[in-house]
Amino acid sequence: MCGGGSSLRHARGALPFLRRSLEHDTLGEALMKDLTNASLESFRNYASWSSSSSASSHKNLNNCFFERQRLQNYQHGSLDDRIMAPLRRVLKSREGQVLERSVTLTAADLLESWRHRDLAHSLRADDDWTVTTDIWAAVGGLQEGTELGHEVHMHDTALVSGALYLSVPNNAGSLVLGSGEHVQVVMPSVGDIVAFAGWVPHHVEPTALMTNDTPRIALAFNVSKRAVHLRRDSWLRSM
């Protein structure tokens, strides 16, 4: 469901995921623009650095960009890192903290809809230091042509994973959740946040960028609680 509402899927046997729009309710046009520009600037910084250091090829540039963010503690890292400073500066701002809180509360809503009420309460508590929300930028490419998607993977150490979509080109590939008989295909719009259980396999289909298209840009996230892991059986037993 696009727009201001939300879609909660929690029928037995279904995939636990939630989709809603944050663009107007929470973020606002100015913050969306700042996040988009900062993500692009940090990605271009990394691309420039990697081309001079031979650290990566264009083929896996976004994967290497993620690894750089992971090794440097995502948005929690230092502003002294020239590559990531543009994005971190926005995420560490007061407005960026609103975004981080919105991501955490979205995860709590998904958990509660699947009857994990104690965990949802823990995520909603401002003073629970065992809850961590990590956010990183994913940029689909800056050149015309078919850009590689993202291969099947999962975030099984996270309670909830997902992405907030900042830029979605006309020919963007879909987000595909699940595998086998249980598959949900999501075609997000700008401002959408999609959250799903960390154990859900997912991948992004290739994006065919056209001339003058903006790249596909998303802020991906993991919401975790120290020493707590919810496997697939734990999610499904709750229904």
Q: Which domains does the chain have, with CATH numbers?
A: 6-237 (2.60.120.10)
Count the Cβ atoms, other than its own, within 10 Å of residue 101.
Answer: 14
| pLDDT (tens place) for every residue of the chain, 239 residues total | 333 344 444 444 578 999 998 766 668 888 999 999 999 999 999 988 887 665 555 556 888 899 999 999 999 999 999 999 999 999 999 999 999 999 999 999 999 999 899 999 999 997 888 999 999 999 876 655 556 577 889 998 899 999 999 999 888 889 999 988 789 999 999 999 999 999 999 999 887 766 666 788 999 999 999 878 777 777 765 54
pLDDT at 87: 97
The tokens describing 219, both together, are 């802020």
pLDDT of residue 205: 87
- pTM for the whole thing? 0.88
3-state helix, strand, coil in the chain (%, to 5): 35, 25, 35
Structure tokens at 38: 């900062």
Alpha helical stretches, state H, the chain: 28-53, 61-71, 85-91, 94-113, 117-124, 232-237
Amino acid at 21: S
Contacts of 46 (CB under 8 A, 6+ apart): 61, 64, 65, 68, 83
Distance of alpha carbon 106 from alpha carbon 27, whole angstroms = 14
